[in-house]
Chain A
């Protein structure tokens, strides 16, 4: 029974139905199809998971859906592969995805393009499932590109606003830059190994004789692709702008699923990275830098969604740190917990925005705790989870990451741990700042907005409750051990084991310090925060402008490219060469015709002369040549 193919096809069917028939058949149909099919996919995924568990957990399910192309003795198939890692990813994608679909029925209720929204959302789910279930890097890449496309469509969903459309374009283009690296890595792998199937690639690298290719080179190329998709420095610029899309889209794509594709790729191909210490170092450093940088920017943000966007960047950085030190299972563990609490946070933010009729600036919020209690409680639980307060889910995964950043035998160092801890402090600080300023400080809302504040309907608040519960208890599932067969466990080096307990206590203290700091500065409102901002003006400006990264890109990349494109390609190449040659040929033909037409003088005698001259010439020539 081709369950895996069914899982992948169901959202595609949803896309086609909603896309083609949705506008005509009305909202109930669209909601039923749009939410029902992902839920069915989730149930199918559960069934596959039980099948894999039933046979001991070590045998993957493999299905070949279609033979795409065969060139001589090389063939490319569309095949699906389901082992425990795929199970975790698929369950997250379909599970959290279904919840977000249900939430969207409430959030997007009044939007005129309701059917188009659900069509795109289902399309995204289809491509994401291709990505995580694909056996070969080729299928994975199709899914990779496809989620980029779906992300562009959804970020620029309200495309009549040029800024939002530009944000969608930015996301797509930045992704494409990363994809260049991905493709180069793909070509290199195919050239040396002759196969693109990920399980075979891994076994080729884990075999006693290594393949004749630099694992580090391949590793770095694939990591460039992951940078683009998972928004690591320097390709992170699209993620904050992507908040222009609807909030459930931010939750699904930019928190729970798409941005984790890069993490999945590196984790899946851990065979390569185990033999590429340089690449792994690079990954760890980039991850740590992104985590630190994003957290620092999040401290001064004033838009509720932007805070969460930078928070996502930061948490993704953590996942890459874990990958960089060889703790692949731990990275996936953090991916799993992050999906829950970040989705909960984003959807909670959506609930707040919905309650306030569209307001997103936290300086104009406050005092919402009593007015929208369900949203407040779920948001608070998710905030505590992300800050790392035990025994919520985030604590377990983040603590494991920090531990292995310190102690891993393959790349751990105290410096990494220090950066990670400072970032954790900042994370806790800005998340609790967000919580207090939005819900617990006295209200800074205008009268009419305050009047209309109302709790979200059940299809929205119900999802929030489910996600909050998962954020609370999700950490008790020991994912790294669960995935041991696929992703080898990291080891602590040397005699560092006795540091484990102190570091654990330290990370709890860090989280609580962040909480305390937030209450101290923002407990009563914005006043103290503004005083601090005035005192450290330069730093505040630097952080508010996101370290001027966008401006640097504009000056160094965009303007020169634009100049080249405008002056050289357009001015010289297009106008001068191409148009010029065409116009020149036409002018040449015209001039030649003008000159040639001088033969026609209209004078009969001239014509006779020509005829006689020609006849004489012919005769002489004929006589000469017999």
Chain B
């Protein structure tokens, strides 16, 4: 297969692995990291397409994704911190007050 196809498959693979990780891991921090992996998969596919079609907008979007990812992690981690302080555990099973 050619370059683009391979890279796209890799992107999809990363995205899927990240998604599976969100679903199956119990630790809140590990879930966050898997979400970062998903973002990376998306970035890879964006770059691939941008390079294929030789347009710049893909790369610009990637740049913006970096910024958003940084902002997101800056907020998400304090939230997880506070949650874990309240429930005294990082286990996401304990964060189910919305049950029922």
Report whether chain A binds chain B.
Answer: yes
Q: Known: A605-B24, A609-B23, A612-B19. Is A597-B100 also a contact (CB below 8 A)?
A: yes
Determine if B93 is an interface residue (Cβ-Cβ < 8 Å).
yes
Digitize B55-71: 1 where CB-to-A-CB distance is under 8 Å, 0 elsewhere.
Answer: 00000000000000000
Contact status B97-A605, CB under 8 Å: no
Determine if B22 is an interface residue (Cβ-Cβ < 8 Å).
yes
Contact status A602-B23, CB under 8 Å: no
Determine if A600 is an interface residue (Cβ-Cβ < 8 Å).
yes
Q: Which residues of B lie under 8 Å from residue A604 when comparing CB positions?
A: 92, 95-96
Determine if B88 is an interface residue (Cβ-Cβ < 8 Å).
no
Closest CB in chain A relative to B95 CB, distance in Å: 7
Of the candidates A602, A608, A612, the one whose C-beta lies within 8 Å of that of B96 is: A602
Q: Which residues of B lie under 8 Å from residue A597 when comparing CB positions?
A: 100
Contact status B95-A600, CB under 8 Å: no
> Which residues between 557 and 610 of chain A lie within 8 Å of chain B, taking CB atoms?
597, 600-605, 608-609
Bound complex: CA A600 to CA B99 (Å): 5
> Which residues between 65 and 100 of chain B lie within 8 Å of chain A, taking CB atoms?
92-93, 95-100
Of the candidates B23, B98, B99, B100, the one whose C-beta lies within 8 Å of that of A605 is: B23
Contact status A603-B92, CB under 8 Å: yes
Q: Which residues of A lie under 8 Å from residue B96 when comparing CB positions?
A: 601-604
Chain A interface helix/strand/loop/mixed: helix
Q: Which residues of A lie under 8 Å from residue B19 when comparing CB positions?
A: 608, 612
Bound complex: CA A603 to CA B19 (Å): 16
Of the candidates B22, B24, B31, B97, the one whose C-beta lies within 8 Å of that of A602 is: B97
Bound complex: CA A608 to CA B31 (Å): 12
Bound complex: CA A604 to CA B83 (Å): 14
Closest CB in chain A relative to B70 CB, distance in Å: 23
Closest CB in chain B relative to A609 CB, distance in Å: 5
Closest CB in chain A relative to B19 CB, distance in Å: 6
Q: Which residues of B lie under 8 Å from residue A601 when comparing CB positions?
A: 96, 99
Closest CB in chain B relative to A591 CB, distance in Å: 15
Bound complex: CA A602 to CA B98 (Å): 5
Nearest residue (CB) in A for B93 is A603
- The interface size of chain A toward B, counting residues with CB under 8 Å, comes to 10
Contact status A608-B23, CB under 8 Å: yes
Bound complex: CA A515 to CA B100 (Å): 95
Q: Which residues of A lie under 8 Å from residue B97 when comparing CB positions?
A: 602
Digitize B20-63: 1 where CB-to-A-CB distance is under 8 Å, 0 elsewhere.
Answer: 00111000000100000000000000000000000000000000
Contact status A602-B100, CB under 8 Å: yes
Bound complex: CA A597 to CA B19 (Å): 25
Q: Which residues of B lie under 8 Å from residue A605 when comparing CB positions?
A: 22-24, 31, 92
Contact status A612-B23, CB under 8 Å: yes
Closest CB in chain A relative to B56 CB, distance in Å: 29
Bound complex: CA A612 to CA B19 (Å): 8
Contact status B99-A608, CB under 8 Å: no
Bound complex: CA A405 to CA B99 (Å): 93
Of the candidates A600, A608, A612, the one whose C-beta lies within 8 Å of that of B98 is: A600
Contact status A600-B23, CB under 8 Å: no
Q: Which residues of B lie under 8 Å from residue A609 when comparing CB positions?
A: 23
Q: Which residues of A lie under 8 Å from residue B92 when comparing CB positions?
A: 603-605
Residue among B19, B22, B23, B95 with max Cβ neighbours from chain A (10 Å): B23
Bound complex: CA A600 to CA B98 (Å): 8
Q: Which residues of A lie under 8 Å from residue B23 when comparing CB positions?
A: 605, 608-609, 612
Bound complex: CA A597 to CA B99 (Å): 9
Nearest residue (CB) in B for A597 is B100
Closest CB in chain A relative to B47 CB, distance in Å: 23
Bound complex: CA A585 to CA B42 (Å): 50
Bound complex: CA A600 to CA B100 (Å): 5
Nearest residue (CB) in A for B98 is A602
Q: Which residues of A lie under 8 Å from residue B93 when comparing CB positions?
A: 603
Bound complex: CA A309 to CA B92 (Å): 92
Q: Which residues of A lie under 8 Å from residue B98 when comparing CB positions?
A: 600, 602
Closest CB in chain B relative to A41 CB, distance in Å: 78
Q: Which residues of A lie under 8 Å from residue B24 when comparing CB positions?
A: 605
Bound complex: CA A601 to CA B99 (Å): 5
Q: Which residues of B lie under 8 Å from residue A602 when comparing CB positions?
A: 95-100
Q: Which residues of B lie under 8 Å from residue A603 when comparing CB positions?
A: 92-93, 96, 99
Bound complex: CA A419 to CA B35 (Å): 111
17 pairs across A/B with beta carbons < 8 Å? A600-B98, A600-B99, A602-B95, A602-B96, A602-B97, A602-B99, A602-B100, A603-B93, A603-B96, A603-B99, A604-B92, A604-B95, A604-B96, A605-B22, A605-B24, A605-B92, A612-B23
* Interchain residue pairs A-B with the least CB separation, the first 10: A602-B96, A602-B99, A602-B98, A603-B96, A609-B23, A605-B23, A608-B23, A608-B22, A597-B100, A600-B100
Known interface pairs A608-B19, A612-B19; 13 further A-B residue pairs with C-beta atoms within 8 A, sorted by A's residue number: A600-B100, A602-B95, A602-B98, A602-B99, A602-B100, A603-B93, A603-B99, A604-B92, A604-B96, A605-B31, A608-B23, A609-B23, A612-B23
